[in-house]
Structure 1
């Protein structure tokens, strides 16, 4: 079962309250889902991944050029500290990181080696909701768009079902225009694509929490099983990655990427539940050991704070 399905199930169990911010987020999501430019970018990415799943070669920028572009973007605004990059194997690998901000995949891509070439599963609308993301990601490739409903959208749907008539029209718009992405065909398609990517020598970057955290040094548990299943099936290592400082962004802030020792498991075409559980527990322990439990947000002037915290949304 894919990471996406586990994430959907967990998000339904923890929905946000209905607030003006929730409603605004839902309206933005519906607008993105209706936007023809966004839909075309998503479809182009789907076509690329379908080519991979069928054993073909997708369209993508060179790893070196992609890293240079990402590094130029990130280093324009932030100072970056990288710890233990030598722990990244020069072989197909899954990078599994905690998730605090939409900057996280761009930050990691700016510092990891150009080879293997890392692919990133990500929320389809979030990937392409801004013009600069459409330009950069459309050119670079290397993304697997996941069609899914946001927790804010699920909250509106559930509230409408519970009798909030003023949300009925908004809930109907979600049902009509926002795909769930949870059908079995989509899930199998994602699984085939990931296995093909790893089999041909490329890597994956996965955020197993499945959603953004709100507190530095903490994990959103339980971790999704997909990351362990992919690693066990392909026989590739998982490298735990701790991201520190990305929850609140401002100009010239120091962001830290801390790589852990690779976690290696025996390859298994059909992993048993206990094998998946063991791998997930090892990953969870490794991530907890890498995170800074006593992180303190620096004091002082925080220039461009609002801009940078919203730039990567």
Structure 2
């Protein structure tokens, strides 16, 4: 219910304010399970992508956003649920593993799941090495991955800012990476690494970021 109400209001208003440039939206399948794998520059990324995507995209969000007490907490929970987000305790490694199971359930229902392979926001604008959770999900669920390149969202809501600003944002959707039959007979660990590297190369080409060549600080990959 919340999603239907917010999605009729937020995207039109956001598009008027942000005037995002959107490229390659035709690459996003309109039906069936699919992973949208993006670079991560800002907290606002998980709002920007669902605003411009042609279908509902489910992201994971910190469980704190769903458990804050009082009126403010209820409003926050309604907001995040309305955006299609699901709670995850990102400071608990066991919960992080469980979040992959949650993602598989989303994909199993034929929905779109959004993920940031870097694991957390880039604070210096570089693109960090991808964690293999994205490949695990794609290979397990047998769904394609659509790479996404974001530009300008770090100006829309810089790290440390609680209020979005006016900024020009560009979202580029790349051609789907289909995993069906691509890694048959390849050892699982190698398959996950190779697929993840393919995804990160596609994201870099879309975002134009300089590659850091190392992992970012956090390690959850969701």
Same fold (TM over 0.5): yes
Q: How many Å apart are 1:66 and its aligned residue?
A: 4.1
Classify 1:77/1:125 alpha carbon distance in 2 versus 1 (closer, same or farther; 3 Å).
farther
- Root-mean-square deviation over aligned CA pairs: 2.7
Q: Which has the higher helix share?
A: 1
| 1:272 matched residue in structure 2 | 188
Matched-pair contact (CA < 8 Å) for 1:93–1:238: yes
| 1:96 matched residue in structure 2 | 37
Where structure 1 has 5 or more consecutive residues not aligned to the other structure, the ranges are 1-58, 150-180, 295-313
| 1:111 matched residue in structure 2 | 52
Choose between structure 1 and 2 for higher RCO, CA contacts under 8 A separated by at least 6 residues.
2
Q: How many Å apart are 1:199 and its aligned residue?
A: 1.3
Q: Secondary structure at the match of 1:248?
A: helix
Q: How many Å apart are 1:122 and its aligned residue?
A: 2.0
Structure-1 separation of matches of 2:106 and 2:90: 22
| 2:14 matched residue in structure 1 | 74
After superposition, the C-alpha distances for 1:9-33 in whole angstroms (9 at most, x for unaligned) are xxxxxxxxxxxxxxxxxxxxxxxxx
Matched-pair contact (CA < 8 Å) for 2:38–2:147: yes
| 2:214 matched residue in structure 1 | none
After superposition, the C-alpha distances for 1:187-213 in whole angstroms (9 at most, x for unaligned) are 553233222211121110011111111
| 2:220 matched residue in structure 1 | none
| 1:133 matched residue in structure 2 | 76
2:170 to 248, 256, 277: 256
Classify 1:127/1:207 alpha carbon distance in 2 versus 1 (closer, same or farther; 3 Å).
farther
| 2:154 matched residue in structure 1 | 247
Structure-1 separation of matches of 2:143 and 2:59: 16
| 1:220 matched residue in structure 2 | 128
Q: Secondary structure at the match of 1:110?
A: helix
Classify 1:127/1:257 alpha carbon distance in 2 versus 1 (closer, same or farther; 3 Å).
farther
| 2:115 matched residue in structure 1 | 206
Q: How many Å apart are 1:69 and its aligned residue?
A: 2.8
Classify 1:196/1:255 alpha carbon distance in 2 versus 1 (closer, same or farther; 3 Å).
same
Map 1:188-207 to 2 at 5 A. 189-207=98-116
After superposition, the C-alpha distances for 1:109-131 in whole angstroms (9 at most, x for unaligned) are 111123xx321112222567665
Matched-pair contact (CA < 8 Å) for 1:92–1:203: yes
Name which one, 1 or 2, has greater alpha-carbon Rg. 1
Paired residues, number: 196
Classify 1:106/1:193 alpha carbon distance in 2 versus 1 (closer, same or farther; 3 Å).
same
Matched-pair contact (CA < 8 Å) for 1:68–1:110: no
Structure-2 separation of matches of 1:61 and 1:274: 38
After superposition, the C-alpha distances for 1:126-185 in whole angstroms (9 at most, x for unaligned) are 5676655333224x2632212133xxxxxxxxxxxxxxxxxxxxxxxxxxxxxxx223xx
